[in-house]
Amino acid sequence: MDDIAALVRELVAASTPSLDVLLVSASSPRHWAEARDAAALSLGAKRLREITDVLAAP
């Protein structure tokens, strides 16, 4: 679950408008590949808003 949560956080960060650099640290080649793949994806504005609304909920 921690791996999925980390990938979701990275996907959200990579989808943030006007963000053109994302610093990533990985502890293994597998984690680096997963981080690279997540950063290559992009969320649409509506989906990004839905996710950030859920993350912001108390």
> Using an 8 Å Cβ cutoff, are 56 and 25 in contact?
no
Number of domains forming the structure of the chain: 1
pLDDT exceeds 50 at position 31: yes
Binning pLDDT at 50, 70 and 90, where does residue 1 land?
very low
* pLDDT value of position 34: 83
Joined tokens for residue 14? 């990579």
Sign of the dihedral through C-alpha 47, 12, 35, 31: negative
Which residue range is the domain that position 6 belongs to? 2-56
Q: What is the pLDDT of residues 35-55, one digit of tens each?
A: 888 888 878 889 888 888 887
Full DSSP string of 7-57: HHHHHHHHTSTT--------SSHHHHHHHHHHHH----HHHHHHHHHHHH-
State the average pLDDT for the chain. 82
* pLDDT value of position 37: 86
* Residue type, position 15, single letter: S
